[in-house]
Amino acid sequence: MTQAKRIRSRIHTLNFDQEYSAAIFEDIASQESVKKTLQRSQHIIAKTSTKKFYRLYTSTGGDNAPYRIYDNQDMIEFDPSAYTFNAFWQTSKSSMQTVSAVIRNYLGTMNPVDIKTLCQNFGRNRVKRELIQKYKEMYAQGYINVKGMEIKLEGRYDRNPAFREILGMINDC
């Protein structure tokens, strides 16, 4: 069995919603093999600035504690007065919104005060996972649509300057 296959096999044994480092593969592969495999792997969700990652949850998995990031049913009563401005312009009063929608709308503003409020309300890890998932989805699509103009996205999502700036704000929380 190749080193890459052993790494992938070990990834499938990891728990969801727990942060891991590449050190868990030291006994089965060289550092270079681990680095390449993690960069190419579609079985992990995040490569953070601290070189940590999470196992990706897929709906076919039979584990008890799947990633909550795919659960768009988490509804909260959203109060726009807690933020610097209302990103949900449809109403100026409290409304029911999904957690993902609130986080993604305010991540798009790139306002450090609002991002700090997000981290306080939903937790730094949840905000970070939403950011990563948002950028992965944009890069999988291949472009971003800004008022009818399609801007092509090239490279890797984690090398995007806006992604790095927002991730820095989240890490500063």
pLDDT band at 95 (very low <50, low <70, confident <90, very high): confident
Q: Which one of 26-35, 79-88, 113-122 scores highest in mean pLDDT?
A: 113-122
The separation between the first and the last C-alpha atoms of the chain, rounded to the nearest angstrom, is: 42
Q: Does 62 have pLDDT greater than 80?
A: no
**Distance between CA 121 and CA 118 in Å, rounded?**
5
pLDDT of the residue at 50: 59
Same domain, 77 and 47: no
Same domain, 49 and 84: no
Same domain, 88 and 158: yes
Tokens of 8: 């992938």
Q: Is residue 45 part of a domain?
A: yes
Same domain, 37 and 75: no
Lowest mean pLDDT, pick from 26-30, 64-68, 109-113: 64-68
Same domain, 161 and 103: yes
Same domain, 100 and 137: yes
Mind giving me the DSSP string for 75-89? EEEE-GGGSSS-S-T
**Distance between CA 149 and CA 52 in Å, rounded?**
35
Same domain, 87 and 153: yes
Query: Based on the structure, what is the number of domains in the chain?
Result: 2
Q: Does 56 have pLDDT greater than 80?
A: no
Q: Does 57 have pLDDT greater than 60?
A: no
Give the length of the chain.
Answer: 173
Same domain, 48 and 103: no
| Average pLDDT of the segment spanning 118-138 | 90
pLDDT of the residue at 43: 65
Same domain, 164 and 91: yes
pTM: 0.57
| Average pLDDT of the segment spanning 12-21 | 74
SS3 (DSSP) at 130: helix
pLDDT of the residue at 75: 78
Q: Which domain holds residue 140?
A: 71-171
| Average pLDDT of the segment spanning 37-66 | 57
Q: Which is more confidently placed, 111 or 76?
A: 111
Q: Is residue 140 part of a domain?
A: yes
